[in-house]
Amino acid sequence: GVPAVQQGVPPAGVAAAGASAEQPPLVVPGIVVGRPVDIMNGPAPQSLASLYALGTVGELIEEEITVLNYRASLMIFASIDLLATILHVVLAVVRITETPGRLRNYSDLLWVVFIAGPICGFIGARKLQRNLVVVYFAFCVVKTAYQLAWAVIVLQLWHVITALVQVWVTKIVSTFWRALHRIPPERCQQLLAQKAQVTMMCW
């Protein structure tokens, strides 16, 4: 009769014949002789974006927590920065109009350019758009360098305090952008939809 076949065990006589011929023993087609196939042991995703695409990331990671905690702070600082920049431009216009023609200094009007920075920062933080946030970060770096240089030149307490505040804001923007840069755009949209409870960070 036909010998009984067990899973993972070659038929009797075949193993011995195969071994004597120094060839691997034959196995019955359709019979599993190795370990069971485990779908979790397949190729591991090579990036965080792949994990998000597979839906295997359920809890918030460190970068996501950082982004959510600093998001509200960045929106507030960007709004204050925008108002302060507009006020600076308005005062510059007033000084120019009150100064005789040949003595007018139009250099302060260059601050109009800095209005674009906080606008990009506010929108970028609100919608988690990394490109807009990096634009604001670039504006903050330029503005910080200018205010530090001016504080060293004039050596007045008010300008020193303003420069230090600008350094502080730039540090917050940098922290936010570095964390946001590591999160895929698709995951950013999920974070906005989840509306998780966060703790506002200001340092």
Query: In this structure, what DSSP letter does residue 29 have?
Result: T
Q: Tell me the C-alpha distance between 123 and 51, whole Å.
A: 27
pLDDT for the residue numbered 102 = 77
Identify the pLDDT of residue 6.
54
State pLDDT tens for residues 28-58: 444 344 434 333 344 344 444 444 443 444 5
Domain edges within the chain: 69-194
Q: How far apart are CA 199 and CA 68, in angstroms?
A: 8
Top pLDDT among 179 and 24 is at: 179
Q: In whole angstroms, what is the distance from residue 167 CA to residue 169 CA?
A: 6
Residues in the chain: 203
| pLDDT > 50? residue 142 | yes
Tell me the average pLDDT of the chain: 78
Q: Tell whether the model's pLDDT for residue 128 goes beyond 90.
A: yes
195 DSSP 8-state letter: T
CB 28 within 8 A of CB 4: no
